[in-house]
Amino acid sequence: MSALAPSDIAEIEGQGDSAPAIGSSPDALSDRQREVLDVTLELLIENAAALTMIAVARRANCSKETLYKWFGDRDGLLAATVRYQASKVRVEPFEAETIDQTKLTDVLEGFARGLLSILTSDMSVALNRLAVSQAEAKSGAPLGQIVLQNGRFSTGPRLKPAIEAGMRAGVLRPLDAEEAFRDFYGLAVRDTQIRILLGDDLQLSPKDIEAEARRATAQFFTLYAASAA
């Protein structure tokens, strides 16, 4: 079975035992496999430099051979780990319904809060460091895209409908939702994420995050509130 294509986990799934053969689902991980990926995340957060195949195997009480069988190679394990973590953070999109100034404020503040909470978490920092350091390699699986999906693109589409609803409701002036979203991102995150990634010991308490979220939201309204009213 050594003929498998490394770093392409899609087809390895075929040989899974207990994993139900769900054809359409992109990932079909067994409980045991999820267990391994949790261990990988654990090690990654503890010390990414010590994240070696043997280390994963030891802590997960599995063999390296199984690791290679399931995930192809090291990059495959990493990609599966990142994707697995991303799959755990799925959120439901925003439902338009009634929107007004107060409601939109709540949505924006909640979004900024969630974003800052995620980006400052150990998990996010570890995953982003990993993805950044592997971003230039020509590996077939761009971890960076997955991380972006998780940290930005998965939250962006959730927020943009709210912005557009606010615009239609006359709360916000006409705008480009994508640009407005990026502005809000900048107002909320500023240099926080890059500083943390670079090792700056900048930590935000929940109270700080709350304050940042409020400030960013207020500033966003200053930029984009319907001027007429």
Partner DNA sequence: CTTTTACCGTACCCATCGGTACGGTTCCGT
Partner DNA sequence: ACGGAACCGTACCGATGGGTACGGTAAAAG
Q: Report in angstroms how near the CB of residue 219 gets to a copy of itself at its nearest.
A: 6
Q: Report in angstroms how near the CB of residue 179 gets to a copy of itself at its nearest.
A: 9
Give the C-alpha separation, 72 to 70, whole Å.
6
Among 31, 65, 95, 97, binds DNA (CB under 7 A): 65
Residue 120 to residues 34, 142, 193, Cα–Cα distance (Å): 24, 22, 7
Q: Which partner from the list DNA, a copy of itself, none does 110 bind, CB cut-off 5 to 8 Å by kind?
A: none
Residue 50 as a binder of DNA (CB under 7 A): the answer is yes
Residue 159 to residues 111, 114, 146, 214, 227, Cα–Cα distance (Å): 7, 12, 19, 16, 22
Residue 17 to residues 12, 28, 34, 74, 83, Cα–Cα distance (Å): 11, 11, 14, 22, 21
Residue 74 as a binder of DNA (CB under 7 A): the answer is yes
Q: Report in angstroms how near the CB of residue 197 gets to DNA at its nearest.
A: 22
Per the CB < 8 A criterion, the answer to whether 216 and 188 are in contact is: yes
Residue 136 as a binder of DNA (CB under 7 A): the answer is no
Q: Rule CB under 8 A: which of 209-228 touch a copy of itself?
A: 219, 222-223
Residue 52 as a binder of DNA (CB under 7 A): the answer is yes
**Of the candidates 23, 139, 20, which has an alpha carbon nearest to the alpha carbon of residue 73?**
139
- Residues near a copy of itself (CB under 8 A) are 47-49, 126, 128-129, 131-133, 135-137, 142, 144-145, 147-148, 151-152, 182-183, 185-191, 193-195, 197-200, 219, 222-223
